[in-house]
Amino acid sequence: MGSYSEQEKLLVSIDEKRKMMIDAANRQGFTGYDTIRHSQELDCLMNAYQQLINRERTHHQGIQGLVKKIGLFSRGDIMPAYEANK
């Protein structure tokens, strides 16, 4: 599972690479070698970020599903048992 710092690092890298790509495009045009290279590297960074987000979302949904299946934190299940033990 990823962490907040991993997300932040990727977002910073994405922003830096985007700026480099724009700078290269301003100097060399949209089809310049450096522009294309930065664009492809930016694609890789954005894909890595999206994969990290998807992994975290899948992990979170898995935990939610497990909680629902076993009935944890269901107020209806906990309160009667609590009331019976008073």
pLDDT in tens, 57-72: 876 666 666 666 676 5
What's the pTM? 0.66
Give me the phi and psi of 84, to 5 degrees please.
-65, -25
pLDDT digits (tens, 9 = 90+) for 12-42: 999 999 999 999 999 999 999 999 999 999 9
- Domains within the chain, CATH numbers bracketed: 4-84 (4.10.280)
- More confident: 10 or 55: 10
Looking at the chain, how many residues does it have? 86
Contacts of 58-64 with CB under 8 Å at 24 or more apart are: 59/1
